[in-house]
Amino acid sequence: MAFDILEPGLATSVQDLGRLGYYNVGIPQGGAMDQLSASMANALVGNAETDAVLECAYLGPKFTTDTDAVIAVTGAPVQVRINGTATEQWTRLALYAGDEVSFGMLSGGTRYYIAVQGGIDVPLVLGSRSTYALGALGGLQGRALKAGDTVPVGTVEPSGPRPVRESIPEDLRPAYAKEVTVRILPGLYDHRLTAEGMETLVSASWKLTPVADRTGLRYSGPDIAWKPRTQPFGAGSDPSNIVDAGYAVGSIQIPGGKEPIVLHRDAVSGGGYAMVATVISADMDVVARSAPGTVTHFEPVTMEQALVARADAARTRRAVWE
């Protein structure tokens, strides 16, 4: 069972929950950028949450299925078409052998997810099917899909898994807002900013630039002042340079005091830029859903608040599986 890719879309890749446990050797956790949407897609088709899905950015693929299949599309609002006829997102869809799936234009957000019953069946690499394109690892031959690819789909047991839900209720679906608040935990290098610099970071309205991908997202806004310092041995000459250190997932850098960058799921694990704060894990999906132009406010929180938010996010995620 397989999907035949007629058009690949802009950057369609196989993703799952991520490749945990290798960050210390420089391999990022990766996985679906918008974990909640990917999880909901799996719930709709009767998969396990660990099954791999297709992540589509901006322009989706056009593909046919070689056997009957059950799919679901979640994530950024987009028109889904089966054999040219518009159909619904956030619901289970039945495909017959030979059916063609294609997509219209996004009306918000950035990424949407296609789950298929049985999961995308590429080999596990270091415990995950996620594509890490920079490292040419995982997914389909370690890269985004191309026209002419055959994407293997897992076989479903004769008894079949029971889909958890037929559709996702509107109140459980994530929002794709033009203005968002992203909670951050200050540190580890916030002491390197001036007081005004930190104040600017948490009070300015930042606008997501088109320079945003699975590695990181760059925001435009006012300049942020770093404290002057004597260049330490081993650090670069920019005031935001440090002696190399490990990067927290979701950490924020401000090279040269201009345009903060939020590192995302495929970011490098370390380097020589000071991290002034880290996006809390509960809000990484919010960042992942942001389209260029999204007005973003960074709100500082404490570790206790971050942990409460993480527990809340886990409850939301579990809700569709009950």
Partner 1 sequence: MADIVSPLPGIFYRKPAPDKEPFANEGDSIEAGQTIGVVEIMKQFSEIRSDVAGTLESFAVEDSGTVNPGDIIATVSEG
Interaction site with partner 1 (CB under 8 A): 10-11, 57-59, 105-107, 210, 212-213, 291-293
Phi, psi dihedral angles at 217 (to 5 degrees) = -130, 130
Which lies closer to partner 1 via its Cβ, residue 10 or residue 243?
10
Name which of 255 and 300 has its Cβ closer to partner 1.
Answer: 255
Name the residue among 159, 143, 140 with its Cα closest to residue 3: 140
Q: Which is nearer to partner 1, 11 or 80 (CB)?
A: 11
Calculate the CA dihedral of residues 56, 57, 63, 68 and round it to 10 degrees: 20
In terms of CB distance, is 11 or 120 closer to partner 1? 11
For residue 93, what is the enclosing H or E element? strand 92-95
Complex with partner 1: residue 9 or 118, whichever CB lies closer: 9
Nearest 5°: CA angle at 151, between 163 and 60?
Answer: 80
Q: Smallest distance, Å, CB 33 to partner 1?
A: 12
- For residues 164 and 226, give the distance between their C-alpha atoms in angstroms, rounded to a whole number: 51
Rounded to a whole number of angstroms, the minimum distance from the CB of residue 213 to partner 1 is: 4
* Separation of alpha carbons 112 and 97, rounded Å: 23
Specify the residue, 109 or 197, whose C-beta has the smaller distance to partner 1.
109
Query: Would you say 58 or 206 has its CB closer to partner 1?
Result: 58
Q: How far is the CB of 250 from partner 1 (least distance, A)?
A: 19
Contacts of 120 (CB under 8 A, 6+ apart): 14, 51, 52, 53, 54, 129, 151, 152, 153, 154
Q: What angle do CA 165, 168, 169 make, to 5 degrees?
A: 120
Rounded Cα–Cα distance for residues 113 and 130 (Å): 13
How near is the Cβ of 292 to partner 1 at its closest, in Å? 5
How far apart CA 236 and CA 226 sit, in angstroms, is 14
Q: Which of 170, 167, 175, 199 is nearest to 186 (CA)?
A: 199
Smallest separation (angstroms) from partner 1 to the CB of 297: 20
- Residue 156 has a CB neighbour count (10 Å cut-off) of 18
SS3 label, residue 125: strand
CB of 15 to partner 1, least distance (A): 15
> Minimum distance between the CB of residue 286 and partner 1, rounded to whole angstroms?
18
CB of 145 to partner 1, least distance (A): 13
94-98: long-range pairs with CB below 8 Å, 24+: 94/68, 94/69, 94/70, 95/65, 95/68, 95/69, 95/70, 95/71, 96/65, 96/68, 97/65, 97/66, 97/67, 97/68, 98/64, 98/65, 98/66
Q: Which amino acid makes up residue 309?
A: A
Q: Which is nearer to partner 1, 7 or 121 (CB)?
A: 7
Minimum CB distance to partner 1, residue 210 (Å) = 5
Q: Which is nearer to partner 1, 59 or 307 (CB)?
A: 59
